């Protein structure tokens, strides 16, 4: 069962993992981010979402912004010490740990995400694909979600609606455009060794075809 979801927003940042200090976004939304956006609308243990393709409906535009970020995290060791001794701090002072960082982000993004779901072993005996598809489409039409869908960072909210017409890619993206290696998703098959999966992302006339995680052309 498949759906076509139209999403758009003012800003987006799908951070490249190879650039650590300053955030630099991929040129388009990653399949992992697209899956997370759909799961914000509807997630169920009985189904697994797979992204099939992404249509880039607006030109790719970047802009520079500066944001306040917290530079530290509460370590597991510190939390364990507090639990064992009953004293200590389990919080971060934003005023002491805040710092400004530059980010190269996308602006005025607009995509159509085509996705389908597979049933999993966690589905109940009364579950079926038709039931889940009806639920998903109903939630999209009503604008319902479990948490606000966003484009890479929570301060970049995503607007969405069911795509029931044929939207075309931006005219600026005609031809072939190599985007390099892009994060496909994370491999959770071994909880003790979670691995990222990458693929060679190529836009063909503004359309990004996404391989299956168990298909050819996927690097771990």
Q: What integer is the mean pLDDT of 124-134? A: 88
Cβ neighbours of residue 64 closer than 8 Å, sequence gap 6 or more: 102, 103, 104, 105
Are 118 and 48 in contact by the 8 Å Cβ rule? The answer is: yes
Report if pTM > 0.95: no
What is the percent of the chain where pLDDT is above 90? 60
> CA Rg, the chain, in Å?
19
Band of the pLDDT at 124, cuts 50, 70, 90?
A: confident
pLDDT of residue 167: 83
Considering only CA atoms, which of 46, 58, 53, 61 is closest in space to residue 5?
53
pLDDT tens, 187-208?
A: 888 888 888 999 999 999 999 9
CA distance from start to end of the chain: 28
- Looking at every residue in the chain, the average pLDDT score rounds to 89
2-67+102-219, what's its fold? Alpha-Beta Plaits (3.30.70)
């Amino acid at each position: 069962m498949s759906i076509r979801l139209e999403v758009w927003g003012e800003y987006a940042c799908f951070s490249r993992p190879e650039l650590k200090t300053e955030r630099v976004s991929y040129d388009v939304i990653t399949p992992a981010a697209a899956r997370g956006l759909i799961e914000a609308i509807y997630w169920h243990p009985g189904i697994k979402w797979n992204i099939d393709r992404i249509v880039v409906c607006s030109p790719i535009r970047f802009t520079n912004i500066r944001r306040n970020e917290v530079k530290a995290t509460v370590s597991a060791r510190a939390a364990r010490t507090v639990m064992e001794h009953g004293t200590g701090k389990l919080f971060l002072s934003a005023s002491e740990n805040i710092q400004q960082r530059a980010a190269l982000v996308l602006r005025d993004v607009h995509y159509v995400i085509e996705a389908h779901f597979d049933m999993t072993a966690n589905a109940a005996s009364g579950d079926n694909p038709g039931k889940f598809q009806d639920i998903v489409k109903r939630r999209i039409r009503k604008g319902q979600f479990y948490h606000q869908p966003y484009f890479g960072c929570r301060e970049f909210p995503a607007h969405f609606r069911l795509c029931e017409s044929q939207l075309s890619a931006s005219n600026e993206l005609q031809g072939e455009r190599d985007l390099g290696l892009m994060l496909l998703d994370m491999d959770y098959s071994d909880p003790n060794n979670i691995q990222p999966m990458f693929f060679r992302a190529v836009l063909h006339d503004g359309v990004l075809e996404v391989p299956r995680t168990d298909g050819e052309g996927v690097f771990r």
